[in-house]
Chain A
Amino acid sequence: MITYLIRRLAYALPILLGVNLLTFALFFGVSSPDDMARLHLGGKRITAEAVERWKVQHGYDLPHFYNPAGEGVAKVTQTLFVQKSLKLFALDFGAADDGRDIGREIGKRMWPSLVVALPTFVLGLGAYLAIALFLVFFRNTAIDTVGVILLVALMSISGLFYVIGGQVLLAKWWQWVPISGYAPGLSGLHFLVLPVLIGMVSGIGDSTRFYRALFLEEAGHDYVRTAHAKGLSPFRVLFRHILGNAAIPILTGVVVVIPRLFLGSLILESFFGIPGLGSYTIDAIQAQDFAIVRAMVFLGSLLYILGLMLTDLSYAWVDPRVRLQ
């Protein structure tokens, strides 16, 4: 297994390098260092000297990939790409273009993201599985049919509608919770109710249908028929046999998501004023802060790769037939 993990980590390096290269090319394809300088310095009374000075101070005066003025290896190392992107592999995120430390900011902002994403994920998963099992229990009845119709309807609604609808209904009309906001610690619990609820509800349609389909597939297998024939109660068959055997595909979808919970949700964080990493990324894109954008894209890729590795490990853990070599 150790060999397998080392090999996977080695595969990750070119992927991360490619992601970096792509981010770099895309960013500088639409935005030149001069543009970035002008945006950061403001819209009024900006002189050419001020733009040049900003570029020098922030290291954007270097050529993109090849520096003919450099000597030897400096022709490659004294370039924007190497100076700005390769340090990320040592998890050195550097400073944002406004001078603030990115690593510190990520460390601070990942907690609000996690505080919303984790309960949404755990409670949501529990709710989706429970509803899916409920529908499977009543399969081929009116309850199942009505349930599926409702799920399809819920799937068809935009996530933004849930956000605005939830804010209007629960916070504005019924006045149960604050419309938006965030506070750290227990005093901020009431702020979490609405985003967590909306996060759960917006995923209920597709996730529940997916789990229902998994359970129905399992329910059609011979071992389930055998269990019924042996006289086991329907509840025991459902929770012990069907749920247990459907765990592997559930894990596929679930474990890969876990590391990325730190990254937060772009829409939820923006609408609820949650100071997480989702809103950090959006703000950075709007402010053309390449330092933050590249750090967040790198982090996202890294966590995704980590999620895939965890998924593989969890396969081996839940299914004795799987061996990682």
Chain B
Amino acid sequence: MVFALMGCQEPINSPHPSGAALGKTLFSSFSERPKHLDPARAYSSNEIELIGQIYEPPLQYHFTKRPYELEPLTLTAMPHLTLLDKQGRVLAPNAPAEQVAQSVYELQLRDDIRYQPHPAFVPAMHSVALRTVEGLADFPERASRTVTAADYVHQIKRLADPRVSSPIYGLMRETILGLGELGDRLAARQQKGEPIHLEVESLAGAVAVDARTLRITLKGRYPQFIYWLAMPFFAPIPPEVERFYARPGMAEKNLSLDWQPVGSGPFFLAENDPNRVMRLVRNPNYHLESYPGRPDLRLPLIDQAVYSLEKEDIPYWGKFLQGYYDSSGIASDTFDQAIRVAPDGTPELSAEMQGRHLQLVTALRPSLWYVGFNDLDPVLGGRGNAARKLRQALSIALDWEEFISIFLNGRGIPAQGPIPPGIFGHREGAAGLNPVTHIWQQGRLQRRSLADAKQLLAEAGWPQGRHAQTGAPLVLYLDTMAGGADAKARLDWYRKQFAKLGVQLVVRATDYNRFQDKMLKGSAQIFEWGWNADYPDPENFLFLLYGPNRKAGLNGENAANYQSAEFDRLFVQMKDMQNGPARQAVIDQMRALVQHDAPWAFAYVSKSYALRHGWMAPRTPNLMANNTLKYTDLDPSARVAYQQKWNRPALWPLFAGLAGAGLLVTVAWRAWRRREAAQT
């Protein structure tokens, strides 16, 4: 063992195969195995993070431009939009929404987009006997072909396929012309036990005009549709791949689109063992694409990415510090070790991390956390003055600045409205503050005093937290999924905030299922909730407060069940507008309305903190794009040098152990000799 400890060139505690660190390979991890890799089904962030590197929808987010901007990915230019009225006449681009009967997007595909090599593209492989097949590697031949418009049409049809259960089918059947009818037809076929062949089904809303031209027709006007074209839901799927995987016996061997994706992206999934490791390898057929502003840097910049399963924070963080993972998030337990906060409040690396030449990368997430007040609740809900003032008082009392400091280690900013920074419609500084909860003082936000909150509470009919007439205490209920020791401090914090006003808060901690039930029935009173942006448009946040989208009864995403005729009217107006001063003005009105009505206590926008080793090329994080792996670059030789420096095994414990064992043997020997001598 001593020789092993001393003699190896490569650190003996390396978790990677010998020599792997020398290659242009990114080492990262995942904590939960993705459930779906089918682009029509995958929606969770961990699923999209993986398949975003494999599939190519028509558009992508420009990697460096801010605010976020879409650009063509597999197209020669941005889609061309034509608006039509009921008679099929072409309308002006700024025609009012009520005149628009159809929106027609025409997409022109590049001719150099090719799929990864795969056996499905070899006709002979479709009839290989499956007896001896255990995985894709057992198919002897593989080939590729160019992506066509028909492949995109096929995938759009798949969204309606009842066997696929796409999470966006409900939305898209109301959007894409004919998709609902196709879904109904397919469901009827499935119910009768008839086979489903998507290739022979027609779909008016998605047509391949020719091999390179795709036409998508929407019902009415939906400007946000263009953002969906940057998601893997709209990536091409070759029909022959689906036929290949549909053979009897394939699914039992985990050979399906849900397990073995086939795309045209910069990487393909070479190894999929989500119990242990997933490995992405450079697609040899990837089309020409360069790093923005650097035509000399052809993408992708690395050859492989290896994701290992790490369920626990401690081993993950330990391996990162040993240099075996190239980047890491920062858990609360390790925050103090990694980060120190400068006197001016800005976070910086601790001395230990600086000594390791780490990079700290921070970015505000396009997400929002809030505490919702159920609009259907008899005490807190509705448009009445008393309930509104009560909600406003509670919104002041909930001190999110304190919450961010205690529970997020300062990783966030207090939210002032329904739209987070980075999304059109958000206003910075005094212009965006929530006048109900904050004031602008000496160039910074200041939370209103408790006296203001108590005043509002008294005006609501609950002076000192007791009913003005009966004197009964005000008891409110927080429904939450948080439970156990970890959540105790946070729930205690909530109680303390309400107690500042003399209001009693009862926490009803429950499991995920019961919580979802309560939300669907609209029986929760106060709850915590959050939303991550699907796309960087204000509609994606404001629709969370749109009345017809309420959760109770309608199963929408308006969890607070907020209902305001004025807000709904403005929402319908805003959602079809182009970004500009007119849209901003409408959004300003909507923000003022919900700040005043206070259906949510706007909590915070969280900040992502990530650490990267010095051998990683610096990159500005892009939190909207999901295909960012191709921009990642690293210096393997520097990585190997650091790994050797940081991983020299300690030998003294070995010698100390040997000495201890020797001592024990000596003591035992002497004891035995003494006993032998006593017996004779």
Contact = CB atoms under 8 A, between A and B. Distances in A.
Interface of A: 30-32, 35, 38-50, 53-54, 57, 95, 98-101, 104, 108-109, 112, 134, 137-138, 141-143, 164, 167-168, 171-183, 187, 190-191, 270-273, 275, 279-280, 283, 287-288
Given A32-B513, A141-B671, A98 B13 contact: no
Interface stretch (B211-219, B235-243, B353-361, B645-653): B645-653
B162 interface: yes
Given A175-B322, A176-B5, A187-B17, A44 B35 contact: no
B309 interface: yes
Nearest to B667: A143
A211 B625 CA distance: 61
Contacts of B321: 172
B17 A175 contact: no
Contacts of B378: none
Interface stretch (B119-127, B163-171, B291-299): B163-171
Given A44-B43, A98-B35, A180-B310, A173 B170 contact: no
A175 B11 contact: yes
A41 B319 contact: no
A57 B256 CA distance: 17
A178 B13 contact: yes
Contacts of B309: 273, 275
Contact of A46 (B187, B513, B555): B555
Contacts of B495: none
A119 B88 CA distance: 75
A192 B672 CA distance: 36
Interface of B: 5, 11-15, 17, 32-33, 35-36, 43-44, 162-163, 165, 167-171, 187, 251-254, 256, 258-259, 273, 275-276, 308-312, 314-315, 318-319, 321-322, 324, 511-513, 516-517, 534, 555, 557, 647-650, 653, 667-668, 671-672, 675
B652 to A, nearest CB: 9
B138 to A, nearest CB: 15
8 closest A-B pairs by beta carbon, nearest first, are A275-B275, A47-B170, A35-B513, A180-B315, A181-B15, A178-B15, A174-B650, A179-B315
Contacts of A95: 251
Given A104-B253, A273-B309, A283-B33, A143 B671 contact: yes
5 contacts: A30-B511, A53-B187, A143-B668, A179-B322, A271-B312
Nearest to B251: A99
Contacts of B314: 164, 167-168, 271
A42 B318 contact: no
A176 B12 contact: yes
Contacts of A39: 512-513
A19 B273 CA distance: 31
A279 B311 CA distance: 10
A182 B311 CA distance: 13
B555 A181 contact: no
B252 A104 contact: yes
A265 to B, nearest CB: 14
A283 B274 CA distance: 12
A69 to B, nearest CB: 16
B165 A270 contact: no
A142 B516 CA distance: 62
Most B CB contacts (10 A, CB to CB) among A48, A95, A178, A187 go to A178
Most A CB contacts (10 A, CB to CB) among B33, B165, B275, B653 go to B275
B318 A179 contact: yes
A46 B649 contact: no
B306 to A, nearest CB: 11
A175 B315 contact: no
B108 to A, nearest CB: 30
A50 B17 contact: no
Nearest to A35: B513
* Contact residues of B: prevailing secondary structure: loop
Contacts of B32: 283
Contacts of B12: 175-177, 190
Nearest to B38: A99
B167 A101 contact: no
A54 B170 CA distance: 14
Contact of A53 (B165, B256, B275): B165
A325 to B, nearest CB: 44
Given A41-B165, A104-B252, A181 B322 contact: no
Given A53-B165, A99-B258, A167-B314, A175 B275 contact: no
B165 A54 contact: yes
Contacts of A43: 44
B312 A270 contact: yes
A171 B13 contact: yes
Given A50-B167, A180-B15, 20 more contacts: A31-B513, A35-B512, A39-B512, A40-B35, A44-B43, A48-B555, A53-B187, A57-B165, A100-B259, A112-B275, A142-B671, A167-B315, A167-B318, A171-B13, A172-B318, A178-B15, A180-B312, A270-B312, A271-B315, A275-B309
Most A CB contacts (10 A, CB to CB) among B15, B168, B256 go to B15
A273 B649 CA distance: 22
B276 A273 contact: yes
Contacts of A168: 314, 318
A36 to B, nearest CB: 8
Contact of B13 (A49, A176, A288): A176
B252 A101 contact: yes
B596 to A, nearest CB: 28
A46 B559 CA distance: 13
A100 B254 contact: yes
A50 B315 contact: no
B167 to A, nearest CB: 5
Nearest to B47: A42
B49 to A, nearest CB: 14
A50 B311 contact: no
Nearest to B513: A35
Nearest to A41: B167
B310 A273 contact: yes
Given A50-B169, A181-B15, A176 B649 contact: yes
Given A45-B171, A50-B167, A101-B254, A179 B35 contact: no
B2 to A, nearest CB: 11
Given A167-B318, A272-B315, A178 B254 contact: no
Nearest to A51: B555
B648 A44 contact: no
A53 B315 contact: no
A212 to B, nearest CB: 16
A175 B650 contact: yes
A48 B511 CA distance: 21
A150 B32 CA distance: 39
Contacts of A271: 311-312, 314-315
Contacts of B667: 143
Contacts of B33: 283
A149 B60 CA distance: 66
A45 B315 CA distance: 35
Contact of A99 (B167, B256, B322, B512): B256
B61 to A, nearest CB: 19
A57 B11 CA distance: 50
Contacts of B11: 175
A198 to B, nearest CB: 12
A45 B168 contact: yes
Contacts of A167: 314-315, 318
A214 B11 CA distance: 45
A109 B171 CA distance: 39
B285 to A, nearest CB: 29
Nearest to B653: A174
B187 to A, nearest CB: 8
Nearest to A39: B512
A50 B308 contact: no
Contacts of B672: 137-138
